[in-house]
Structure 1
Amino acid sequence: MGAVLWAAEAAAVDCRDLVHEENRYTVCEVDAGTEDLRLFLNDAQGELLGQFSAVESELAGEGGRLAFAMNAGMYHDDRSPVGHYVENGAEVTRVIANPGPGNFGLLPNGVFCIRQGRADVIETLRYVEAQPECRFASQSGPMLVIDGELHPRFLPDSTSRYIRNGVGTSEDGQRVVFAISDDYVTFHEFGGLFRDVLKTPQALYFDGNISRLYAPQIDRSDVGFSLGPIVGVVEAAQ
């Protein structure tokens, strides 16, 4: 079982470090019922944001700031989303429901959907059938946990290890848990974190290797080359 090593007080987001099966992770938990959870891709002029600092600058114009942020889905070389993407109710890219190359196409994959008062990880075919009205949505893959079970293609003895990040949600859509590994982990190990420790019945992989986190309450602001979709919690600037 995991052991909590450290916790930080935060109004909008609770971030903490933990260890599970000798791997280190940083986990940030959000109440989707009370917090302003959004996705970000381009600024008001249509230019790529790409960095946490650019999102901060954009929010400053409306009197807000980031309480938390993380990369939130795979992207092409031009940073456009690989899969389905919705921002402020407008669809930017369509749902891709068929198998394909790479981690994204390792079905089942899923969609992270933010609605009024809740957020959910939804397996893609279920998403297509239900057609939820998401204010924000980002498709990625593979699913890490599906109805409390690990993705069927995950291997306990896999040798593929990366820094990985993803998101899990509770059944009622109120509890949203974001995690990033601080060690190189397999899909099986990362999925096990969401299933066994974070107890989220649905969880989705965002990306690996380029995974980054912005969590000012623990003095963390990862930097690097430009990202595609970014998920963040917005709070009023003080």
Structure 2
Amino acid sequence: MSPYIRTVKTGSGARAVQIVHYKRHGSKNITHVGSAHTDREYALLKAQAQRIIDGDHMSLDLGGVASEDAGVGSENNPVPVTAERAGILLDCIATCFDRIGFDAACGGDTVFRDVVRARIIHPGSKLESIETLADVGVTSAGYATIKRKLPEYATDGFREIITQALATHAGIGPGSFLLYDVTTLYFETDTPDDLRKPGFSKERRVEPHILVGLLTDSSGFPLTVGAFEGNKA
């Protein structure tokens, strides 16, 4: 167990600050740091004790939180975590989302924004997307809502709106130089369907696969992506 700071009353009414070290078999070794007769002395002794515990390790300055009696960062008296939010990451994604024109294009659809954020932070399933956003401090739409909205995002009309927003942001116009490339993605199944079909594979795989095509501008900025049957040439 990690060492921790404790305070005990002395016979004279002072507050003694001590460091408790646990040894094997549960025995204790107590280091007396000093006795405080005022609040100022008490705060200084607790800070000194924490420095002794930290040793050469750097500790974070948590401002007012570090001086609260609720915790000092030890195992038995931890600093409470009241909330977590990946603010810088979320603000960066939000700025890019808005500048590209996605917010205006989707009409302020918060579910679409949540799905995009989750896919950037950690690509995963619908349930994993909800968990990913929760980990960074975002309360997203529920599973049923996301499941209901995803088919809408796959329609040609919605894809066209997103593509137009990307093309406008990239300044695409007559005479623009564009790049297009395709790749294959195979699936670990022996059963083909309407999309996943056996065909020519750059990896020489025999499993059903699909073709994925990506259109970009000359700098590589994505404009649209498409998926095609695996037996397309």
The answer to whether TM tops 0.5 is: no
- Normalized against structure 1, the TM-score is what? 0.18
More helix by share: 2
Higher relative contact order (CA 8 A, sep 6+): 1
- Normalized against structure 2, the TM-score is what? 0.18
